[in-house]
Amino acid sequence: MNALQVRDITVTRGAGPVIREVGFTLEPGRITALVGPNGAGKTSLLEAISGVLPAARGSVHIGDVEVTKHSRVARAKLGLAHIEQGRAVFPGLTVLENLKLTARTWPRVDEVLALFPELDKRRNSPTALLSGGEQQMVVLARAFAARPKFLLIDEMSLGLAPVVFTRLLPMVTRFASEGAAILLVEQFTHLALGVSQDAIVVSSGRVTYQGTAEALLAAPNTLHSAYLGE
Ligand X SMILES: Nc1ncnc2c1ncn2[C@@H]1O[C@H](COP(=O)(O)OP(=O)(O)OP(=O)(O)O)[C@@H](O)[C@H]1O
Residue numbers at the binding site for ligand X (CB under 6 A): 13-14, 18, 36, 38-44
> Closest distance between ligand X and the C-beta of residue 137, in Å?
22
C-beta of 48 vs 145, nearer to ligand X: 48
C-beta of 18 vs 176, nearer to ligand X: 18
> Closest distance between ligand X and the C-beta of residue 211, in Å?
19
C-beta of 49 vs 113, nearer to ligand X: 49
C-beta of 119 vs 201, nearer to ligand X: 201
C-beta of 44 vs 127, nearer to ligand X: 44
> Closest distance between ligand X and the C-beta of residue 19, in Å?
8
Residues 6+ apart with CB under 8 A from 85: 43, 154, 155, 158
> Closest distance between ligand X and the C-beta of residue 23, in Å?
17
> Closest distance between ligand X and the C-beta of residue 166, in Å?
20
